[in-house]
Amino acid sequence: MMNGKYRLNAAVIVFNQQGKVLVFGRNDCDNQWQFPQGGIEPNETPEIAARRELKEETNIQSVSLVATMPQPLRYDFPPQVLEKFQKLGRTNIGQEQYWFLFYFEGLESEINFTTNPDEIEFKAYKWIEIDEAPTLVVDFKKEVYLQVVKFMKPKIAEFLSSRH
């Protein structure tokens, strides 16, 4: 789904009881990590899309919603990404992302990014401190990640302190 020239997208941060967040290493490039994300289908709300993408990309379903960014954030694609997408017939110049924070209630064995062999987006995962995420993501997403971390970090702390 598109909003003008921006592809509507849902992005997900999953955190555990230690306050660590889950990032995934992209399959198509080395040393590029990111949070799960994907397009919002015409019949979906952003939250439904976030949950679907999380399941499709990571197999994770054992989560509860903790926070949502109050407004979507946008980033533009750099020329090399635009060129690649134009060859695939896509006309969007960037993404408008709706961000969700989920608490992981499952077991680590639930995480499996190879359930769909035709579309394996990730090759690895790791739990990190949320502040580290912007240093691991591709440059054109960095500013959005900085904004998301600033908003979500206190939400993680509040949630965890309310459980003790």
* Annotated domain spans of the chain: 2-162
CA distance 72 to 55: 21
CA distance 51 to 35: 13
pLDDT band at residue 1 using 50, 70 and 90 as cut-offs: low
Q: Report the pLDDT averaged over residues 138-146.
A: 95
> What beta strand segments (E) does 105-151 contain?
122-128
Q: Do 98 and 10 contact (CB within 8 A), yes or no?
A: yes
pLDDT band at residue 4 using 50, 70 and 90 as cut-offs: low
Q: Report the pLDDT averaged over residues 4-14.
A: 93
| Residue closest to 129 by CA, chosen among 29, 20, 8, 54 | 20
In the CATH scheme, what architecture does the domain 2-162 have? Alpha-Beta Complex (3.90)
Q: How high is the mean pLDDT of the chain?
A: 92
Q: Do 121 and 24 contact (CB within 8 A), yes or no?
A: yes
Q: Which helix (H) or strand (E) holds 75?
A: strand 73-76
